[in-house]
Amino acid sequence: MFDKILIANRGEIACRVIKTARRMGIATVAVYSDADSRALHVQMADEAVNIGPAPAVDSYLVIEKIIDACKQTGAQAVHPGYGFLSENAKFARALKEAGITFIGPNLRAIEAMGDKIESKKFANAANVSTVPGYPGEIDDDVEAVKIADKIGYPVMIKASAGGGGKGMRIASSADEVAEGFRSSKSEAKSAFGDDRVFIEKFIVNPRHVEIQVLGDKHGNVIYLGERECSIQRRNQKVIEEAPSPLLDEKTRKAMGKQAVALAKAVDYDTAGTVEFVAGQDKSFYFLEMNTRLQVEHPVTELITGIDLVEQMIRSAAGEKLKIKQNEVKLNGWAIESRIYAEDPYRNFMPSIGRLVRYRPPKETSEDGVTIRNDTGVYEGGEISVYYDPLIAKLCTHAPDRGRAIEAMADALDAFYIDGIEHNVPFLASIMANKRWRSGQLATSFIDDEYPDGFSAAGASDEITNTLVVVAVTMDYAHNLRKRQISHQMAGRPVSFAEARHVLICGQWAVARVSENSYDPVRVVIQSKKRKKRFAVESGWHPGMPVWKGEINGIAKSVQVRPLANGYRLTHRGVETEAVVYTAREAELAKLMPVKVPPDTSNQLLCPMPGLVVSIDVSEGQEIKAGEQLCVVEAMKMENVLRAQRDATVVAINAEPGDSLAVDAVIMEFDA
């Protein structure tokens, strides 16, 4: 076994590998760029080596710097994590030549399967059923259009060295192919240092199901069940689960056998994933093989009890796989939600900045439910513009899918983040979605369910009542504290009105709060038809970011952000202001004028902090709705900004190369 390993990665996956290595008694070395000098993985590792400037192409993607760091520290092996150099054959070869062990597959497997184009050719030669497509290299957008025309629309354009949704586009016309080809090549070059792309048929209404395989250097390969990753946005996975609600045991075994046969054909000797596109009828086609650890590996670990990072390390050290196929048992159900630094209310544009508050739910394992949070950040840390916006991977495990979903919904309610925008409300919205709960999934799920983008969820009567109850009990707790202020003037005791008028979701509610020494707080909401009564127990006190307690015996978590005379509350994907007044204050509040936001309809605002890649129009030019105006890059993704209506450009305030803040005015149009 190794004495010391280096992790050639950053963020949550570097922290994840360090945890397992520490448990195994192995010392760890972190590498970091200038932007990551205070990152969590640097703090967790036993040693850390700076490998250069912030851009990944100057640091995390430079093979020579990783090898130099190994030599400086005496690291005997390298775990690549995922992304960056994890599927790079040149990197594995360079490590081998330097006498350093690669904690990953052998070179033959990487070259045959790690490259998306080569894996298609190899799979075809091995008579594995594959999606129709053109697996060769494509020279330019003209050739790309010809190929797409021959395959038939829609098509998928994919980076050969890609993953994580980078360098991927769905195109339904020749124009979209030409544009998508150029964007995919550019993104692939930036993210992976390899701009090759290929094209394949896009299967309509498909599901994404993948098989986890595990091998050793003695010819043993097993599969550890499947994961379903159909909840995707822009080809990037958002929510994953294991097992899949689609598969039965017969289909699972068929997919598993095919995955193992493919892995054995290249002497696969570590953890890897064989991805399939599956039809709603349980038909499936080989898509690609990822010769690395997957982002979503925790859900497999939770249902099998097998630490995949540990198995990778043991395999790299030459140990024989001790797990037999008949010993692999799938227990319960696991779900993973990816917490991203992005604004779901602004078309999921990336968000950067400091994590002023970062309070994830507590990792526990109680009453058959496990909560796990894999993260690479901390409160006070920074989300950088240079890297993937993943903050954390929140996982729940329970005896069945329904309980796992409920546990996830509760955990998301308790996941408190401030300082940046994040997608927790969006994830909470999915957990409440009836189609998601029924397991009727497809990779088009997000487009189908949110055709106009994500917007604040409407509050049901149940959620509105919950938020009213929480608001008035918090107001009551504040009043109790005010009663305890010392050196108050003598005379009549301080008293507060029992009735509270709450403005929430644009409506007024009247609630009364009372208690005695022995009972929970009692809240009565007065409606036109009847009174609704609630017994409330909570240990919340002013200043706590999450209200936790029981309402009529049911556990609830509500995020709290203080406002003047009230709170901004978040619960089950609903985010709203709740302002609490006395009766007289409510009378006066109803007379106050409403502030109207400024009109920005004649401006193109930068939707996120980013770098201007191109300005595609000029001043005085007449433009049509849908026409491309400019491209802004952030967090390794290129974002095309288009005209919302016909107009004339009257001013351009930015140029290629400019670094812009969110809401910076890029250009202006005529009225």
- Edge to edge, the sheet with strand 77-79 lists 47-50, 27-32, 4-7, 77-79, 101-102
184 contacts 158 by C-beta, under 8 angstroms: yes
CA angle 384, 446, 186 (to 5 degrees): 45
Tell me phi and psi for residue 220, to 5 degrees: -90, 130
Q: Known catalytic residue: 638?
A: no
CA distance 184 to 237: 18
Q: What are the Cα distances from residue 288, in Å, to 77, 209, 276, 277, 471?
A: 27, 11, 7, 9, 51
Taking residue 356's Cβ as centre, other Cβ atoms within 10 Å add up to 11
Enumerate residues 6+ apart whose C-beta is below 8 A from 357: 379, 416, 417, 418, 419, 545
Tell me which residue of 575, 624, 623 sits closest to 423, measured CA to CA.
Answer: 575
Structure tokens at 354: 């400091």
Structure tokens at 220: 């043993």
CA distance 564 to 89: 58
Residue whose tokens read 């802004």? 632
Active-site residue (options: 210, 288, 301, 633): 288
CA distance 63 to 80: 11
CA distance 551 to 156: 49
Taking residue 486's Cβ as centre, other Cβ atoms within 10 Å add up to 4
Taking each helix axis from N to C end, the angle separating 308-316 and 297-304, rounded to the nearest 10 degrees, works out to 100
Four-point Cα dihedral 402, 405, 411, 414, nearest 10? -100
Tell me which residue of 586, 479, 531 sits closest to 523, measured CA to CA.
Answer: 531
CA distance 138 to 197: 7
508 contacts 580 by C-beta, under 8 angstroms: no
What is the C-alpha radius of gyration for the chain, rounded to an integer number of angstroms? 27
- Positions annotated as catalytic residues are 288
